[in-house]
């Protein structure tokens, strides 16, 4: 069934072609209308005293009123639904057009109302006039869309005058358009996840889905069907009981909501900040928070209320509660368990059960702890060491008889060192005896063994001797001596041998 808009377009074309001298048969073929329809439109125009070209003061609505006065009167007598309120109600979970039509019928008994098909058609026509991003229907409490604004904000260091550019994080709730934004120094993973924690605290609850764009901090590997989410980001989502669902690459409709939110933040917040000069990130965020409050209370243009009122009505009641403890940032690293059953992280060493020697494990490192996982099972947990080179060793991780590393027992290491020379043996002995556990010296001893594959034995022995005399009997010191060839300088500095006697060489007596 043609809509009124299609009908009026056809009438315009019929009147234009008729005035140009086309026959009714030609008009039927050109406009793909029935002969009866063409005849009817021409008859109605003649009865209304209209011909082509139409008067300037008659638009499509005026033409319809002149040709179909009965239809116009009937449409005015029908009770028009509040389509803005209907659009808002559709964002509640479980609410359908069928339910809203039934409520519309029940609320106006005895009055002329739309039938269900007309009700749906008129709503869709009304919705088509909204902005593209607003035409999507988002369920209350379901999604928060996340991205960064393109423009940055300069922040001046008051001590040095250095200017740093602050990044602007933006989060928009799908149903209400309620917006959060803040400034951070970077888009790196710690700043990205920290912004999530503060955004969810601002909302006072957690949506079911976190919908970021394919940011490097969020998505390790972008894919339309199976994107690989950063493991720390998955931890955050699991902590809050949410799921990460990145937008699909090359699907602009997926991120239209946040793109409009970012655009609004740029126009209504960042554009105003150009008049200010900021000397700290805290000062910048204080100003952003004030402007953000104004943004969320600005009235909608085509919908009732504002972002704040829509949030309180739609999203706030549907959000999941926040956990009692906020998420604490932690990063994941992969490591191999060394022969001394420790793993290294930033120059600190943490023990694991000795059965895992030689296997790969995952480290989850937070500000306070280092947790170690093998497969999906946590096998060790340590307080994070602050001093470079320190070992954190749990007694229960140590083997009773060192079965896993008999091949490199202290005795064998000493025998190997003595084969190089006495200085090497003394240095290895120092490594084994000056640790809380002898096994902790294995790492340094094996480092010496590695050096023996790259340098001659006499140079290694000389370097160990020099390290002992310097009071620094460590593998690092030996490596430095070899690299700078200090062991060779030592050999060159030995007392010179006397020159052989020769007839052409004058002795000391010659000068007396």
HEC string of 85-149 equals HHHHHCCCCCCCHHHHHHHHHHHCCCCCCCCHHHHHHHHHHHHHCCCHHHHCCCCCCCEEEEEEC
Are residues 159 and 122 located together in one domain of the fold?
Answer: no
Q: What's the pTM?
A: 0.53
Cα–Cα dist 364/334, whole Å: 9
pLDDT at 275 over 70: yes
* Contact call for residues 60 and 8 (beta carbons, < 8 A): yes
Domain match, 234 and 342 both: no
Q: Are residues 52 and 9 in the same domain?
A: yes
Single out the residue in 370, 397, 424 at which a domain terminates: 397
The confidence band for 180, taking pLDDT boundaries of 50, 70 and 90, is very high
Query: CA-CA-CA-CA torsion for 344, 350, 352, 358, nearest 10 degrees?
Result: 20
Judge whether 55 and 69 are in contact, CB under 8 Å.
Answer: no
Beta carbons of 222 and 364 less than 8 angstroms apart:
no
Hey, is 339 helix, strand or coil?
coil
The pLDDT value given to residue 511: 43
145 vs 247: CA distance, rounded Å: 9
Residues 24 and 57 in one domain: yes
Question: What pLDDT shows up at residue 130?
Answer: 63
Q: Residue 298: which CATH number? A: 3.30.420.10
Residue 204 and residue 153 share a domain:
yes
97 plus 42 within the same structural domain: no
| pLDDT top residue among 383 and 80 | 383
Sign of CA dihedral 199, 202, 205, 211: negative
Q: Are 18 and 157 contained in the same domain?
A: no
Q: Is residue 511 part of a domain?
A: no
Tell me which of 278, 294, 318 is where a domain ends.
Answer: 318
pLDDT of residue 203: 93
285-315 tens-digit pLDDT: 999 999 999 889 888 776 778 888 888 888 8
452, pLDDT greater than 70: yes
Residues 219 and 176 in one domain: yes
Out of 26-40, 122-136, 240-254, least confident range: 122-136
Domain-located, residue 323: no
pLDDT at 426 over 80: yes
Q: What is the pLDDT of residues 338-390, one digit of tens each?
A: 888 898 888 888 989 888 888 899 898 887 888 899 887 888 888 888 888 88
- SS3 label, residue 171: strand
Residue 135 lies inside a defined structural domain of this protein: no
Claim to verify: residue 106 and residue 47 sit in the same structural domain = no
The contacts of residue 107 (CB under 8 Å, 6+ apart) are none
Please give the tally of structural domains in the chain: 5
Contact 435, 444 (CB under 8 A): no
Same domain, 92 and 177: no
Q: How confident is the model at residue 202 (pLDDT cuts 50, 70, 90)?
A: very high
Q: Is residue 506 part of a domain?
A: no
Structure tokens at 414: 């000493």
pLDDT at 499: 47
505 falls within a domain? no
Average pLDDT of the segment spanning 172-200: 90
The residue ranking higher by pLDDT, 149 or 227, is 149
Q: Residue 436: inside a domain, yes or no?
A: yes
Instruction: Tell whether 162 and 283 lie within a shared domain.
Output: yes
Name the 3-class secondary structure at 189: helix
The 3-class secondary structure across 351-396, one letter per residue, is ECCHHHCCCEEEEEEECCEEEEEECCEEEEEEECCCCCCCEECCHH
Last residue of a domain, one of 291, 318, 345: 318
Domain that holds residue 475: 409-492
Residue 497 in any domain: the answer is: no
What's the average model confidence in pLDDT over 218-223? 54
| Other CB atoms within 10 A of residue 20 CB | 10
Could you tell me if residue 424 is inside a domain? Answer: yes
Average pLDDT over residues 239-249: 80
Could you read off the pLDDT of 468-497 as tens digits, one per residue? 888 888 888 898 888 888 877 655 544 444
Q: What are residue 456's phi and psi, to 5 degrees?
A: -60, 155
Percent of the chain scoring above 70 in pLDDT: 80
* Residue 510, token pair as written in the block: 């010659």
Instruction: Say yes or no: 160 and 305 in one domain.
Output: yes
Residue 133 scores a pLDDT above 90: no
């Amino acid at each position: 069934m043609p809509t009124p808009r299609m009908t009026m377009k056809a009438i315009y074309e019929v009147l234009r072609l008729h005035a140009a001298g086309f026959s009714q048969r030609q008009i039927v073929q050109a406009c793909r209308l029935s002969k009866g329809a063409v005849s009817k439109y021409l008859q109605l125009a003649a009865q209304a005293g209209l011909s082509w070209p139409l008067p300037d003061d008659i638009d499509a609505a005026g033409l319809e009123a002149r040709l179909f006065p009965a239809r116009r009167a009937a449409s005015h007598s029908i009770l028009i639904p509040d389509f803005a309120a209907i659009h808002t109600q559709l964002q509640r979970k479980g609410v359908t057009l069928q339910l809203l039509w039934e409520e519309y019928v029940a609320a106006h008994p005895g009055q002329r109302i739309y039938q269900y098909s007309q009700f749906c058609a008129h709503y869709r026509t009304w919705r088509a006039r909204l902005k593209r991003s607003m035409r999507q229907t988002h369920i209350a409490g379901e999604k928060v869309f996340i991205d960064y604004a393109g423009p940055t904000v300069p922040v001046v260091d008051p001590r040095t005058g250095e200017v740093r550019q602050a990044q602007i994080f933006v989060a928009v709730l799908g149903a209400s358009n309620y917006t959060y934004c803040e400034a951070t120094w970077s888009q790196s993973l710690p700043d990205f996840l920290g912004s999530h924690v503060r955004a969810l605290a601002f909302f006072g609850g957690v949506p079911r889905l976190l919908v970021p764009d394919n940011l490097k901090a969020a998505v390790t590997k972008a894919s339309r069907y199976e994107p690989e989410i950063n493991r720390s980001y998955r931890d955050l989502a699991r902590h809050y009981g949410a799921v990460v669902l990145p937008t699909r690459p090359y699907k602009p409709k997926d991120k239209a909501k946040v793109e409009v939110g970012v655009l609004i933040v740029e126009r209504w917040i960042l554009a105003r900040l150009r008049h200010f000069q900021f000397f700290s990130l805290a000062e910048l965020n204080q100003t952003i928070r004030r402007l953000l409050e104004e943004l969320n209370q600005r009235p909608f243009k085509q919908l009732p209320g504002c972002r704040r009122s829509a949030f309180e009505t739609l999203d706030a009641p549907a959000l999941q509660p926040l956990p009692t403890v906020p998420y604490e940032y932690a990063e994941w690293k992969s490591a191999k368990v060394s022969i001394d059953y420790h793993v290294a992280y930033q120059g600190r060493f943490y023990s694991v059960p000795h059965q895992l020697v030689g296997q790969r494990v995952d480290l989850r490192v937070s500000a306070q702890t280092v947790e170690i996982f093998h497969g999906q099972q946590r096998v060790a947990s340590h307080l994070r060491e602050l001093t470079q080179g320190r070992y954190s060793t749990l007694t229960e991780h140590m083997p009773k008889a060192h079965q896993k590393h008999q091949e490199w027992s202290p005795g064998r290491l000493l025998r190997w060192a003595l084969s190089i020379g006495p200085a090497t043996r003394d240095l290895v002995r120092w490594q084994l005896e000056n640790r809380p556990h002898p096994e902790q010296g294995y790492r340094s001893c094996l480092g010496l063994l590695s050096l023996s594959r790259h340098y001659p034995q006499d140079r290694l022995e000389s370097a160990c001797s020099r390290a002992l005399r310097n009071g620094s009997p460590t593998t690092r010191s030996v490596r430095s001596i070899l690299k700078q060839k200090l062991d060779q300088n030592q050999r060159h500095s030995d007392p010179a041998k006397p020159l052989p006697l020769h007839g052409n060489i004058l002795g000391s007596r010659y000068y007396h």
